[in-house]
Structure 1
Amino acid sequence: MRVIDRFHPQRCRELQAALDAGLALLRGEVSLLEPPQLYLLTLLSFLLLLIGLVGFSALALLALAWRTLPGWSAGSIDVLRLLIWLAISSAVYLALLPLHELLHGLVFRFWGGQPYYGMRLPVALYCGARNQLFRRNHYLLVGLAPCLILSLLLVLLMFCWPITAPYLVLAGAGHLSGCAGDLLAIFLLLRYPSHLCIEDTELGFRVWEIFPHHLDLNSTVQAN
């Protein structure tokens, strides 16, 4: 196991030394894909989908308020245009999936970690960081970054290029729903003190407390 903290090397070395000496205690472990968290995850995903549909629809209407797009006036949408809308919306959503995981990986790397990527069929992509411990607040940003950045990007696209707005509603809502796992993990992690370290796992995370001051006490005792 390796402690990751690019911007506080001295603190990182102290934590690593204590970890190597066995001065660490597992404070908690969460699996988001097993009960009871799985039930919360499913409910949150559904709620976020509804919120996303309402929110992105409202933003799209606001972006289009000053511009009429050909083919989108009332009563003029035919089956072909609807199919085109569904196809483009689905393509945008699928494009967001790798971008979401890439942003996780970039923030892992920003803190000094080494991420890995994978895929579970049919379209479940994932990013993780094996055998690495991150400060709690650093790990929170890893989880929050894709939801925040991609949602803001979609909103900016709607208002900068209103012609794209109808195609971003379904994609934005679907992506927000897919952020349920990240947001649930953030909510659960906020219950823990900020000095703890987080280990990313395939199903969730583990919370560790490392005791570097105990290492100093042991060294003092041995010296005496």
Structure 2
Amino acid sequence: MKQIRSYNTLPDGYKEVLNINLRGIKIFVFLNVASVLLILPFVLAYIIYLELNPDSSPIKLELLNILMYVSIALIIIFVHELIHGIFFKLGTKEKISYKFHGWAASASVEGIYFYKNHYILTGIAPFILITPLLVASIYSFPTHSLGFYILLAMHTSGCIGDFYVIFKLLKYSPDTLIHDYGIGMTFYKK
């Protein structure tokens, strides 16, 4: 399948058309502002929920609950990157590199060029797989529903970098190749 093939070297005839470095100050600020804006609908929905359900009580801010939610949030970050890695593996036999960059975690395969559709699938997979689990947890654990709701909001806003890159990729043709170097990626087109 052409969409999931990858190359160890850039094929002839390809040239760089875009380089996204997530360490750049403009992109860093943009993604953080966008992440906050992405949380706002969750806050608004919760406020509306409280207005419609005045008898509902929020979670207790006990140390044990806080530690549990922080632990789950860290596990979600790890699983999110692991899912990226699994989907990268569908297109290459090369080793996946996992890194923490101070403010973001990443999974990448240095020196490999992936086709656009495979890269989009790899980028969106954690959101598609983790979101239903968090939504199910909201309904399955009513005494912790707000905690899981907050985790859902945090994970969704944490996907902003993935959403941004996918949005940028949409205008390119399916034969576009992407080289992901962890904290950024370069797009190549014929």
Quick check: 1:132–1:200 contact (8 Å CA) kept in 2? yes
Structure 1 residue corresponding to 2:99, chosen from 105, 112, 118: 118
Unaligned runs of 5+ in 2: none
How far has the Cα of 1:54 moved from its partner?
4.2
8 A contact 2:31–2:160 mirrored in 1: yes
Alpha-carbon spacing, 1:199–1:16, altered in 2? closer, same or farther (3 Å): closer
Structure index of larger Rg: 1
Residues in 1 aligned to 2:130 and 2:56: alpha-carbon distance in whole angstroms:
28
Task: Specify which of 61, 67, 81 is matched with residue 82 of structure 1.
Answer: 61
Residues 51, 204 of structure 1: alpha-carbon distance in 2 compared, 3 angstrom cutoff: farther
CA distance in 2, matches of 1:12, 1:100: 22
1:184-223 equivalences under 5 Å are 184-210=164-190
Give TM-score scaled by structure 2 length: 0.80
1:139-195 superposed Cα distances (whole Å, 9 cap, x missing partner): 011111112211111002222343442221222211112111111111111122222
Q: Which residue number in structure 1 is paired with residue 76 of structure 2?
A: 96
The residue number in structure 1 matching 2:22 is: 32
The CA distance in 1 between the partners of 2:185 and 2:10, in whole Å, is 21
Partners of 1:113 and 1:196 in 2: CA distance: 20
Counterpart code for 1:159: Y
CA–CA distance in structure 1, aligned partners of residues 187 and 163 of structure 2: 17
Query: Contact between 1:24 and 1:208, CA under 8 Å: does it hold in 2?
Result: yes
Deviations 1:173-219 (A, max 9, x none): 11112111111111111122222111112332111124xxxxxxxxx
- C-alpha displacement of 1:128: 0.9
Tell me the distance in 2 between the aligned counterparts of 1:73 and 1:190. Answer: 42
- Any gaps of 5 or more consecutive residues in structure 1? 1-6, 66-71, 211-224
How far is 1:108 from its partner? 0.5
Calculate the TM-score normalised by the size of structure 1. Answer: 0.69
Offset from partner CA, 1:77-108 (integer Å, 9 cap, x none) = 7xxx3124433222221111101000100111
CA distance in 2, matches of 1:18, 1:178: 31
Identify which range, 128-137 or 111-120, moves more after superposition.
111-120
Tell me the equivalent position of 1:172: 152
State, as a whole percentage, how many aligned pairs show the same letter. 25
* Greater Cα shift, 31-40 or 140-149: 31-40
State how many pairs are aligned: 185
Alpha-carbon offset, residue 118 of structure 1: 1.9
Q: RMSD of the alignment, in Å?
A: 3.2
